[in-house]
A and B are shown apart, each in its own frame.
Chain A
Amino acid sequence: MVPLSHILALSAMLFVIGAAGFVFRKNIISVFMCIELMLNSVNLAFIGFSRYLGNLNGQLFAFFVIVVAAAEAAVGLAIIVAVFRNRDSLNIEDLDSMKL
Chain B
Amino acid sequence: MVVIFYIAAALAILAALSVVAQHRPVYSALSLIVVLCSLAVVYLFLGAEFIAVIQVIVYAGAIMVLFVFVIMVLNADREVVSQRSRMAHWLGAPLVVALLAEILFAIWNQFPAAGTSPAAPVPAGPAAIGHLLFRNYVLPFEVTSILILVAILGAVVLAKKEF
Contact = CB atoms under 8 A, between A and B. Distances in A.
Interface string A1-22: 1111111111011111111110
Contacts, number: 227
Given A9-B107, A55-B122, A47 B46 contact: yes
Chain B residues touching A, majority SS = helix
A75 B151 contact: yes
B80 A81 contact: no
Chain A residues touching B, majority SS = helix
A2 B12 contact: no
A56 B32 contact: no
Interface string A31-59: 01110110010011001101111111101
A11 to B, nearest CB: 9
A15 B76 CA distance: 25
Interface of A: 1-10, 12-21, 23-27, 29-30, 32-34, 36-37, 40, 43-44, 47-48, 50-57, 59-60, 62-64, 66-75, 77-82, 84, 90-91, 93
5 interchain residue pairs of minimum CB distance: A54-B119, A21-B20, A71-B151, A78-B158, A78-B155
Given A3-B114, A17-B17, A70-B148, 7 more contacts: A6-B9, A26-B80, A30-B19, A36-B32, A40-B39, A47-B46, A73-B63
